[in-house]
Structure 1
């Protein structure tokens, strides 16, 4: 933790309120001279770099989650469409023939008994659960809705994070440039 000459934590002066999901906002340094004061610039730049690293870490994690959801949502939609097809075939006496994927580009042929009233759904972590059609339909719709909401939140958070990253970079540049100007003036005063 970096502190100022007055004993204040520099990070507390750099971050503002948090968004709905707890991501802190970066405060723009309006008056660099007043902000730096008598504090060593290295400590302030270090605190800004640490804040920048945190934002980049959050951005990386959210981007990975976004990519995962972009794969999960179409799969869930496909599962939902298949379940709705099975429900529509429920009253008919004919069996359903289908091909299902075993691995990439490897499919197997299967015959589904139209009288079956349950489906098995992979929940993850090598867990499969048998559900009635209505329970499965409710579960898949809920999972799809939750995933789409989460994707919207992540996209919002990524936009918020980009703004905070830019603000932090601008603050670092302005404080660094202020320090360069201050050192030049000190050299000129020493020579004079």
Structure 2
């Protein structure tokens, strides 16, 4: 990790904090030439804190996305059922949750639209076909977000491992260098 590499950062996955680029150090002695070891170690420790913070954020996003996916699947299936029943003219009987553990049965006749909860206290009415399209797009986006999240977590884990190795190698090199300096100074 050269001084220019320390300044190099890549945009964090999913638009979060800038993530410093982790670089494997081939030759520790050459890398530390003209550098303060303590400052380099401090910078690497700061990078590790950033990686941990970004990793935690990514894992929280993954949990939220995984929680949304079953709801989206269920909503798509319900809308598909309503469309199918609309074309055959059949009535649909549905159970609605009124409160936690309290349900009511309803008979739906000739449904032409559904109300979709968009979040932030917003609910909109959509024709069935539009609702199906919107929900299918949301489900596809949710799956794409999970894939991107998985790749981002993998990148962060690799960066953390590379940085941990760099810290250990620099620390060990510095201990050995100080021991040699002490021996050279003590044997004169």
TM-score after normalising by structure 2 = 0.88
Q: Distance in 1 between matches of 2:26 and 2:89?
A: 74
TM-score after normalising by structure 1 = 0.86
Asked whether the 8 Å contact 2:82–2:111 carries over to 1, the reply is: no
Give the secondary-structure state (helix, strand or coil) at the position aligned to 2:25. coil
Deviation at 1:94, TM superposition (A): 4.5
Residue among 157, 167, 172 paired with 2:167: 172
Deviation at 1:141, TM superposition (A): 0.7
Q: Distance in 2 between matches of 1:181 and 1:102?
A: 70
Q: Deviations over 1:2-22 (max 9, x none)?
A: xxxxxxx84x33476748957
Structure 2: gaps spanning 5 or more residues: none
Q: Distance in 1 between matches of 2:111 and 2:5?
A: 64
TM-aligned CA distance change 1:171 to 1:103, over 3 Å: farther
Q: Distance in 2 between matches of 1:41 and 1:103?
A: 61
Q: CA RMSD in A?
A: 2.1
* 1:190 and 2:185 matched: yes
Matched positions, count: 182
Q: Distance in 2 between matches of 1:177 and 1:29?
A: 13
Q: Distance in 2 between matches of 1:70 and 1:49?
A: 31
Identify the residue that residue 69 of structure 1 maps to in structure 2: 65
